[in-house]
Amino acid sequence: MKNYWLTNVRLETGFIYENKVVAGTKTDLFHLLIEDGIIKDIVSSDTALPDEATIQDAQSLLALPTFAEMHIHIDKTYFGGPWKAPTPYKNVFTRIHEEQTLLPELLPTAKERAEKILELELQNGTTFVRTHCNIDQVVGLRNLEATMAAIETFENKMETEIVAFPQHGLLRSHSVQLVKEAMRNGANMVGSVDPATVDDDIEKSLTTLMDIAVEFNADIDFHLHDGGQLGIYTMKRLAQLTEEAGWDHRVTVSHALGLGDVPEKEVTEIAEKFANLGISIASTVPVRQAVIPIPYLHEKGVRVMLGTDTIRDHWNPFGTGDMLVKANTFAQRFHWIHEQVLAKALGFVTNGQTPLDENGTKQWPKIGDPANFTFVEAPCSAEAVARVSKRHAVIYKGNIVAGTLPSEELSLLS
């Protein structure tokens, strides 16, 4: 499907105000001209289209930006196989020990199960996935090979990033050279985990991580679960290394749990450093522990992205692979209950794209944007977040890649 008119698309156009308070969202119907995967024109639905125009009728469904899954592990999962709950564990080292035998057992089905997760994400409206892939002495690069094979199945359906992730410790498992091999063989980002707790050497772990990033001109996304002052110190040192290396806007801290259990003054200090350097944070919005103050970080200019982390694996039996559910969880966790903030919550799962800005000014979609849409059964994005509305179809670069629109067949306008 290359050039056609996507007709009767419901788009948000502004907020409805009552007594100077946002009380609802205005929408209208539009026709969108799609050429080579790009939006070339947007006109009112009462505009006469050219004779014999090829059309796809959206039947008044609401269009939302497609979602971005910014933290997941698709290479090691029970998903797609028989039910199996995780075993009890004391700490991260319990899981690292468990993986010595588990990873080789999962390897024969790693590609197929990764594909099942990607398909689940796609059906739910996600067209951007950043996945962390185990690079360790147990499976070498074989999980990376399985991940890349699974991703190839979804070529032209979604965009992906692969983080070379030494789960067992960049230094602790002697995986530096293996991570470099991963960077040469398909991984395009580099990560690590808990430089203090797992690697037992914050300075050497972080400098090694940055050295690999610079050597391969790669962005960084590393896991930091260490809490309190240990986590804060690690983030401060990372900020220094980011500035020294000129790696602005190229670093993500996943989890950053230390920001959830320190005074606001220290959160502010980290937020200002991160905002100035463009260091982003990826969060799963955990519900079983002190959650980091995402709204405050966002207010201070830090880019915060959300992710699923795991879908039914040896770490966690939960996870839906549905980023709209994640936006809903976020909104509930921070009591974002009114129209304006519910709509704003959508931006945390769309790489910042929302139909309206906070003032109700239309900002998506625009002419020249990629033709990427998730069509939902909802009157506005606020309800879609609050009620986790049904997805009907996902369009990526102009092509329907999941689901169907009510009018399934292209037709000629008579």
Nearest to 327, CA basis, from 125, 75, 61: 125
Instruction: Identify which has the larger pLDDT, 404 or 409.
Output: 404
CA distance 348 to 362: 17
As beta bridge partners, residue 382 has: none
User: Which segments of 36-135 are extended strands (E)?
Assistant: 38-44, 54-57, 62-64, 67-72, 126-134
CA distance 404 to 247: 42
pLDDT in tens, 115-148: 999 999 999 999 999 999 999 999 999 999 999 9
Q: What's this model's pTM, rounded to 2 decimal places? A: 0.95
Question: What is the pLDDT confidence band of residue 411, given thresholds at 50, 70 and 90?
Answer: very low
Q: Classify strands 399-403 and 391-396 as parallel, antiparallel or unpaired.
A: antiparallel
300 touches 275 (CB < 8 A): yes
As beta bridge partners, residue 33 has: 5, 41
- pLDDT, residue 242, reads 98
pLDDT in tens, 321-380: 999 999 999 999 999 999 999 999 999 999 999 999 999 999 999 999 999 999 999 999
- pLDDT, residue 414, reads 34
Tell me the torsion sign for CA atoms 28, 33, 34, 40.
negative
Nearest to 34, CA basis, from 327, 399, 407, 378: 399
Question: What is the pLDDT confidence band of residue 1, given thresholds at 50, 70 and 90?
Answer: low
Question: Across the chain, what does the average pLDDT equal?
Answer: 95
330 touches 336 (CB < 8 A): yes
Tally of residues, the chain: 414
**Is the pLDDT reported for residue 409 higher than 90?**
no
